Amino acid sequence: MSSTASHHALLPQELIRLKRDSQPLPAEEINAFVQGIADDRISDAQIGAFTMAVFLNGMSREEVVALTTATRDSGHVMQWDSLNLPGPIVDKHSTGGVGDLVSLVLGPWVAACGAFVPMISGRGLGHTGGTLDKLESIPGYDPYPTPERFSDIVKSTGVAIIGQTGNLAPADKRIYGVRDVTATVESIPLITASILGKKLASGLDALVMDVKVGSGAFMPTPEKSRELAKSIANVATQAGTPTTALLTDMSQPLAPCAGNAVEIVETLALLRGERANSRVMQVTRELAVEMLIAGKLVTSREEALTKLEKALTSGAAAEVFSRMVRELGGPADFMERPDSYLATAPVIQAVHPEQGGIVQRIDTRAVGMSVVELGGGRLRNDASVDHSVGFSDIAEIGDRVDNQRPLAIVHARSEEAAARATAQLRAAMTLGEEAAVADTLLQDTFRGEA
């Protein structure tokens, strides 16, 4: 402890009072407060008062950096030096969306280019699908290896996508739980510190962030999404992890499917190079380019694109995915015979529009919630997930749909569930007769400034 911090920190109520009155908070006081949260010395009432004061009065960049590093350091911070890895440790985080299977393709793809990707992912909550739920569609896949095993797999395979382990950023768990029940979730300083506190505890050399904008985005408006992207890039970079944030469109499902097993099927097709120009592949490629540049594995965008193309067409990226699945307990021949392992829904049927037309707009959140209702997501943390349900072959904005081309194919547990999902999907898609063009897929790039 530094001499300034040890002179005994402010009482928690003093720190809360300062923020309540819009006074600046010293970094060491923020640090002591967050440590108190991790040690359970600070009560939920005090956390709630603090988060509300931040929500109402905001935080300076310096304060957010202090909150972020304190959250990161509130538990175990991974160290990779002892492994002497021959490449950079990089990761990506997304604010979440529907049909967003980017991580599943990106991790193995970037690893095949010489990076090391210790990816700690979440489960789905609300309308967004969770990377872990998708991977758990694969029988035997265990996202909770021991820390030693996790390190071993990252070293040998280049990537391991696992779940949140016990002691990473424990302060965030408590703060997040309180924010959830005190209407203080939508604060950009608090969101920034929460996302980065967890991510930076992975001991990264560089981070790439995918911030969504549109009807399926976590942030309510494009301005807020932009503000969050900028905040994350700058705060992480200032906290010592160079970070780039991309602003990408989520005004429709990113992949043409939403669910768990259906997204794994799509992932395999992407890794086999079968959908080179699909929207999900474009976003994944952009993030991959940024990761290779940030990790100093290439010196230019052109070099990155060439390297990525080679990793895909040679089958190297698919091979890395296959190894990761095997190392984490999945079938050794999963890549070759996915159909023998993935669950299929009892009812699979096309959803046609009541009247033909061109897809003008999609309420992406509603599509995500429909997947949750089918049983493919969760509204509570402890709910179980049906991996077989969801939608595949989802029409895109600008597609003509009619009694030949469906809006999507629904995968459901029962006829009743399929009928409900059909009605929901029809309501979520606005059809019309004029030609329609989707929003720009890649809307902006923010490179962090220290």
Active site residues per annotation: 91-94, 131, 179, 194, 198-199
**Pairwise CA distance, residues 282 & 287, whole Å:** 9
Structure tokens at 271: 């890794």
CA distances in angstroms from 263 to 91, 93, 134, 280, 433, listed in the order given? 21, 18, 7, 11, 30
b/e code 371-405 from CB counts within 10 Å (16+ = b): bbbbbbbbeeeeeebbbbbbbbebbebebebeeee
Q: Scanning the structure block, which residue is given the tokens 């095997």?
A: 326
CA distances in angstroms from 383 to 2, 123, 388, listed in the order given? 44, 11, 15
Rg of the chain, C-alpha, whole Å: 22
**Pairwise CA distance, residues 343 & 388, whole Å:** 5
CA distances in angstroms from 443 to 221, 226, 261, 266, listed in the order given? 14, 10, 29, 24
Report DSSP state, residue 119. Answer: E
Query: 122: helix, coil or strand?
Result: coil
Cα end-to-end distance, the chain, whole Å = 25
**Pairwise CA distance, residues 419 & 428, whole Å:** 14
**Pairwise CA distance, residues 187 & 98, whole Å:** 22
**Pairwise CA distance, residues 15 & 325, whole Å:** 47
Query: 72: helix, coil or strand?
Result: helix
